[in-house]
Structure 1
Amino acid sequence: MISERALRLQLARQIAHWRAAVATINDPSNFAAAEAWAAVEGDLDLALRRRLQETVNRLRAEADGLASQLSTAQSREQLLAVRKRLIAFRQRYSQTETILDFYGDAINTRTNPKLRAILHALDLIAGHSMDAALRPLGRPSPPVLTYIDKGMGASILRAGVRLWDGGTLSPAAAIKITRHNLYRPTSLIHEAGHQVENLLGWANEFAALLRHELASFAPVAVAEAWAATATEIVADIFAFAHCGYAAVAALHDVVAADEATVLRYLPGDPHPIPYIRVLLNAAYCRWAFGVGPWDDLAEAWTETYPLTQAHPATGDFLQRSVDLLPRLAELSLARPLRAFGGRSIVQLLDPARINPNALLAWARQLGPALYISPHWANTEPIRLLALSGYRMATEPEKAKEIANEYEAWMLRVGGLPARAA
């Protein structure tokens, strides 16, 4: 059996190591470059630094408490209690490091001047999207920190959620945007929709609505399956209400994988099966705008992914759901909800503003000024995203030209001088 002296010595050595380790994570520049930190907006910069410093301070206090407990430990049992607490501290240190690494990596994507400007523009766009829904309800929008990362789909770490250490609250809506969608970032609005949903309780209310309304038209199991995906459906609704067909086409391209993936049901997955998710989003366009390019998209989708290739049970669910699409679109867009103060989403965010005909008429009226006017950048950044995304989806032969035009707009909005672009 190890002696008390040896046990005390090893505990003292380990505690000294971990106290020194805490000192190394106290400096934000150890996780992100100074120029990247400087690119974070003032209020968000202060909020992030304050929250991260509070996290490190809690860890330091815990390390100091370990040292104090060791200094007063008299018996073997007390030393073993210190050891148990030390093991727990190691886990807390790893959790804290994960928090700091996450924000450090996100902030470091702003080191490059061009990406810094683009991400600043995306911060503003996401903030506008939340303000449009929350401000009429008397609710403030949280700060936004966008960052670039690999992958097919975007994601969000919502403001206000508890982080990995169990004590720190996320100070901002940290939204990942993927490189392939950087110049048609409608997924940014989908992720902002998750934040809005969380603040308003939208998904829970919508899930209850689906259970109640669909039960009259479909088996209970079908209604329950749709209700289980409410959190993702409402984020799609939010993106559609802001961006229209641009959001639908971009979603299509993210989920347009092989047959097995598109037709697969994954138990516990909060996303609708890709096959029916794309068709539902096309149905939103049909409900709001009538006939349009979304009809061709839906037709090509069903031809590319025939239901005969699905598992029989999944195929039956999908066919029943296809029959429900007009009803689902009406429930999604037109039903008043308590979350919106008794209004529907289309009463809060009028889809007439992003009707393709209205967007194209707006572009013809303003011409090149649309992309260089500070007024439109400040007042209609999301509508401009809807226009650019619509044109990319319907004018593929001009996609590069449209993407370059939108990139130049984001650089101007983000504060990069034209000569640096």
Structure 2
Amino acid sequence: MDTNTISTGLIESEATGLLARLDQIKPFVMHETMVLAAALPRDAQLLIERFLHTGRNELRGQLAHFLDWLETDGRESSPAEQQRRFVLIRLQFNVVLAQFDLFTEVVTQRSEHATGVWLSGLDIVAQDALRLETADDGDTRLVVYLARGAGAAIRRAKTRLPGGKPNPVGIIRLPRERMIGSGIASSLVHEVGHQGSAQLDLVASLRAEIERRTARDPDGGWDVWSQWISEIVADMWSVATVGITSTIGLLAVVSLPRYFVFRPGGTDPHPMPYLRVLISAAIGNALYPHPQWRELAAVWRAMYPLAGLPAGHAAWIRNCESRIGDLVDLLLHHRVPLAGGRELGTIWPVRERQPERLLRLYETWGGDFGVMARQRPALVFAVLGQAKAAGRISPADESSRLSSLLTAWAVRGSLDVLDSPAPAGSRTMHNFTPTALPRR
């Protein structure tokens, strides 16, 4: 038997084997076990399944075309050409697997007892946090999963996945160690802020304004804000949405050994932790004036005094700290072209998040589970976080209430799916109606 014949037979066998393995990749709805309340939001599930189905079908078509070619014109081709074509298809198969595995991590946790339902509730919180005074969340859908470590991350919707195709949904990774308390909202809404700022093109427009300030005031230290602006605006989104809950949660995340708190970031887009907490507190005080922000900043400075740092480094930090007010002023008054030219500080429900109003809501609700479950989820996190900061509720009681509320939101979302033929955003809870809910 000649070399060409052996080569063709070997490659054909590999291609048909690859096709058989491709057929073993089933839709998530066929092999993931979970209670309905833990399921992904219906529209997000459809987007993911369609995305993966399209990728599998395209690859299946490529394999069929390759096998047809191998049986006809390709049989006379050289082994090198046959192998070249097959290897390209096999690489595409690995791309399909990488895409599948990415979403597997998100979906599999929905089968964990209790955790899966809480994640479904956090999907709803994330979607609510994406809403603005100027617009709803559009066609972007967000899903949540847990991972080890203290940090959170997002793979934004419409960014490129392995293979180059746009991500159908935003995937938010949260630290498992923060489940469950109001601090989870700090990390969650920060990542939502990355999605929201991308949709409004905030980083580009803010960076352009900072560059204009730099040109007018080259010694004003604006260049460092330009480097950090993507994380700063995500922090702003979080503070604007859940108030002091955000800053206290951030403080917990960046409470690190002293060296790391003061370490220069180099090209890291994350601000130096010491300055980042102070920026967050300054944003909070500008949006929601209250002594609590100055008190929190003072506690942070006491935890990490500048004494003992090299003189030059300490001077640079003090210079940056002295200019935080200018940065916050720029942020609040920045005109957002994609929000109709409104100032950035006005696109969130700022009036609803004033500390005294949050505490009044806490007293008015009186711990009534049914009342709280009918509110906007992001508002509930802001209220409970503010109540905890004011000493009105213990961390244990807060955790218990939030776990019950996440469950209630997840259950309601699943019942909405059963009651509706699949309207867009059926799990986003845009309208909160006083439907019957269990009371505790």
Q: TM-score, normalised by structure 1?
A: 0.88
Taking the TM superposition and a 5 Å limit, the aligned residue runs for 1:226-237 are 226-237=225-236
> What is aligned with 2:6?
6
Question: 1:210 and 2:210 equivalent?
Answer: yes
- What's the Cα RMSD here? 2.8
Secondary structure of 1:166 counterpart: coil
> What is aligned with 1:88?
88
Question: 1:154 and 2:155 equivalent?
Answer: no
Secondary structure of 2:238 counterpart: helix
> What is aligned with 1:73?
74
Taking the TM superposition and a 5 Å limit, the aligned residue runs for 1:10-409 are 10-28=10-28, 32-33=32-33, 35=35, 39-71=39-71, 72-75=73-76, 77=78, 79-133=79-133, 136-137=134-135, 140-167=138-165, 169-182=166-179, 183-184=181-182, 185-186=184-185, 187-214=187-214, 216=216, 219=219, 222-307=221-306, 314-369=313-368, 371-373=369-371, 376-395=372-391, 398-409=394-405
What is the CA distance between 1:365 and its match in structure 2? Answer: 2.2
> Contact conserved, 1:130 with 1:193, CA < 8 A, in 2?
yes
| C-alpha separation in 1, matches of 2:12 and 2:35 | 38
> Contact conserved, 1:32 with 1:104, CA < 8 A, in 2?
no
| C-alpha separation in 1, matches of 2:327 and 2:262 | 19
- The one-character-per-residue Cα deviations of 1:302-352 (angstroms, maximum 9, x if unpaired) are 233334555666544422210101111111223332232111233221423
| C-alpha separation in 1, matches of 2:34 and 2:62 | 28
Secondary structure of 1:13 counterpart: helix
| C-alpha separation in 1, matches of 2:38 and 2:114 | 14
| C-alpha separation in 1, matches of 2:132 and 2:374 | 13
Number of matched residues? 411
Identity of matched residues, %: 22
For CA contacts below 8 A with separation 6 or more, give which structure has more relative contact order.
2
What is the CA distance between 1:280 and its match in structure 2? Answer: 0.3
- The one-character-per-residue Cα deviations of 1:182-226 (angstroms, maximum 9, x if unpaired) are 322222111111111111111110111222235555637x32221
What is the CA distance between 1:359 and its match in structure 2? Answer: 0.6
| C-alpha separation in 1, matches of 2:393 and 2:370 | 23
> Contact conserved, 2:38 with 2:116, CA < 8 A, in 1?
no
> Contact conserved, 2:118 with 2:406, CA < 8 A, in 1?
yes
> Contact conserved, 1:333 with 1:345, CA < 8 A, in 2?
yes
| C-alpha separation in 2, matches of 1:254 and 1:393 | 17
| C-alpha separation in 1, matches of 2:408 and 2:38 | 18
> Contact conserved, 1:31 with 1:105, CA < 8 A, in 2?
no
Q: TM-score, normalised by structure 2?
A: 0.85
What is the CA distance between 1:83 and its match in structure 2? Answer: 1.0
Task: Give the 3 Å change call, closer, same or farther, for CA 35–408 of structure 1 in structure 2.
Answer: closer
| C-alpha separation in 2, matches of 1:287 and 1:280 | 11
Secondary structure of 1:229 counterpart: helix
| C-alpha separation in 2, matches of 1:316 and 1:69 | 70
| C-alpha separation in 1, matches of 2:316 and 2:337 | 30
Bigger helix fraction = 1
Task: Give the 3 Å change call, closer, same or farther, for CA 38–345 of structure 1 in structure 2.
Answer: same
